[in-house]
Copies of this chain bind each other. A is one copy, B any other.
């Protein structure tokens, strides 16, 4: 029932190759013919069959986007931006969710490999080695991780963590806790490294607690441990944890920011609505999504497995391996304040 290139050709009295060219290489066909073909196509409601096209060109005009958890508010803005950018370039995007499971991650890359021109791997939990290997199977762009030999877009969370710590020490805090993220997270390591350095520079003490699950529950569960350390300020791996911590501290009778200051990372929409509103490090997630698809497309344009007959691979292995770094900024809201005269621990004693 759906019209094919052949139907259009017949209706128009031309050969199918002419119809094909009208769509894929318009400059090769006489304007007059072209218009006639276009008209017939329009009339018959013809739409090129992407599967057939993919079969012969080897390019699907699809990309895959793999994230840990679609429902985690950090991701949707990134997904949205990537999808929009891709569509502008006439690409569609498969979105897949790993449920934070590295095994699923790998499986998904495989499942998608034959069906896309490349995949965006977001905040992977896999080992670097495995990622490199997968990168040999299908063009890959990694988000929130640096992997040797692979294009990547990362957020400058190191800077963000430093700004956060400086903000806190500037308010007089001398005793800090860092709530680390999940094991295997590149971002978490980065934050830790930078926060430690910044604390040392300001002659403050920084205790690292973790790893913790990067969820609200992870933050809530950490509240008790935080209290026992007696610190006056906390930097959390992400906003979700920070928000959970806010709740946990509240349940323990500690006031934020009077008794203890809290800083998150990500600036998810939610952080503007908590009470107190969360001080946090804004990460440009939308920009990251856009940048990632641009890198994939521009780069994949060369590297994509071209199974058509033309097959002009020019040394598949040494890929340009650009890595872009996006800037983060501190957003000061209400969850941070000057260090209390007496640490929170004392307050609990009364």
Evaluate contact between A71 and B80: CB separation under 8 angstroms: yes
Q: Across the interface, which residues of B come within 8 angstroms of A70, CB to CB?
A: 76, 79-80, 83
| A33-41, A109-117, A146-154 - the one binding chain B | A109-117
A16: interface (CB < 8 Å): no
A269: interface (CB < 8 Å): yes
Evaluate contact between B2 and A305: CB separation under 8 angstroms: yes
A294: interface (CB < 8 Å): no
A274: interface (CB < 8 Å): yes
Q: How far is the CA of A279 from the CA of B177 in the complex (A)?
A: 34
Q: How far is the CA of A198 from the CA of B77 in the complex (A)?
A: 38
Contact of A269 with B73 at beta-carbon distance under 8 Å, contacts A2-B307, A51-B55, A93-B94 already known: yes
Nearest B residue to A276, CB-CB: B275
Q: How far is the CA of A77 from the CA of B71 in the complex (A)?
A: 5
CB distance from A308 to the nearest CB of B (A): 12
Number of copies: 2
| A7-15, A42-50, A321-329 - the one binding chain B | A42-50
CB distance from A334 to the nearest CB of B (A): 12
Evaluate contact between B54 and A51: CB separation under 8 angstroms: yes
Q: How far is the CA of A47 from the CA of B114 in the complex (A)?
A: 7
Nearest B residue to A92, CB-CB: B94
Number of interface residues, chain A, beta carbon within 8 A = 45
List which A161-208 residues lie within 8 A (CB) of chain B. none
Q: Across the interface, which residues of B come within 8 angstroms of A112, CB to CB?
A: 92
Task: Choose among B55, B77, B273 the residue that contacts A270 (Cβ–Cβ < 8 A).
Answer: B273
- Chain A residues touching B, majority SS: mixed
Q: Across the interface, which residues of B come within 8 angstroms of A73, CB to CB?
A: 73, 76, 269
A283: interface (CB < 8 Å): no
Contact of A92 with B69 at beta-carbon distance under 8 Å, contacts A2-B307, A51-B51, A83-B97 already known: no
Task: Choose among B51, B62, B80, B270 the residue that contacts A97 (Cβ–Cβ < 8 A).
Answer: B80
A212: interface (CB < 8 Å): no
Q: Across the interface, which residues of B come within 8 angstroms of A50, CB to CB?
A: 51, 114-115
Q: Across the interface, which residues of B come within 8 angstroms of A99, CB to CB?
A: 84
Q: How far is the CA of A51 from the CA of B50 in the complex (A)?
A: 8
Query: What are 26 A-B contacts with C-beta separation under 8 Å?
Result: A1-B305, A47-B113, A50-B51, A50-B114, A51-B55, A51-B114, A51-B115, A52-B55, A55-B55, A62-B94, A70-B79, A71-B77, A73-B76, A73-B269, A79-B95, A80-B97, A92-B111, A92-B112, A92-B115, A94-B94, A243-B273, A269-B270, A270-B270, A270-B273, A273-B274, A275-B275
